[in-house]
């Protein structure tokens, strides 16, 4: 079932509409969670001007404005045999698994995936959000090694 969903997703409009409502409710809950608010403020500060600045769940406007064609286009650009890893752990039979993966995913094509990432150059920043809550939430972070760094 999972391979069918991944290789040939239906993107049924009524299911998209239902999920849209779920995500909007998740956005509402996230805005009520001080830890989530702190993390989103951190992301906006550290990743300002970078694609990672965007809220993880999106915004109400972006979710409401997303069409089936937008979702299908994103899937076509980002999902395919060239960007998928099948990983298993435990007591598995390698030959049987290889055969099953070839059977389920063998005819899956897809466009080559663009693996270019925008440069990240965070500036030191502090962001304080004051709310009437019982606890304080603090997020501290900074840039780590570049993904191409061989250390």
Are 11 and 74 spatial neighbours (Cβ–Cβ below 8 Å)?
no
> b/e map of 29-53 (b: 16 or more CB within 10 Å)?
ebeeeeebbbbbbbbebbeeeeeee
Mean pLDDT of 134-148: 83
Of 51, 50, 60, 41, residue with least CA distance to 130: 41
More confident of the two residues 97 and 147: 97
Look up the pTM and report it: 0.76
Among 35-49, 87-101, 105-119, 129-143, the least confident range: 105-119
pLDDT tens-digit readout, 9-31: 999 999 999 999 999 999 999 99
Q: What is the CATH number of domain 1-151?
A: 3.30.830.10
Domain boundaries, the chain: 1-151
């Amino acid at each position: 079932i999972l391979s069918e969903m991944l290789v040939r997703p239906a993107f049924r409009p009524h299911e998209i509409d239902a999920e849209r409502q779920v995500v909007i409710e998740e956005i509402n809950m996230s805005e009520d969670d001080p830890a989530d608010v702190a993390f989103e403020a951190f992301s906006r500060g550290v990743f300002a001007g970078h694609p990672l600045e965007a809220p993880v769940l999106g915004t109400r406007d972006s979710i409401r404005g997303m069409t089936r064609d937008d979702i299908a286009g994103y899937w076509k650009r980002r999902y395919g045999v060239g960007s998928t890893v099948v990983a298993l752990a435990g007591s598995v039979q390698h030959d049987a698994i290889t055969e099953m993966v070839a059977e389920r995913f063998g005819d899956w094509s897809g466009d080559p995936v663009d693996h270019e990432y925008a440069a990240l150059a965070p500036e030191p920043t502090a962001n304080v959000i004051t709310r009437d809550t019982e606890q304080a939430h603090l997020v501290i972070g900074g840039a780590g090694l570049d993904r191409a760094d061989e250390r």
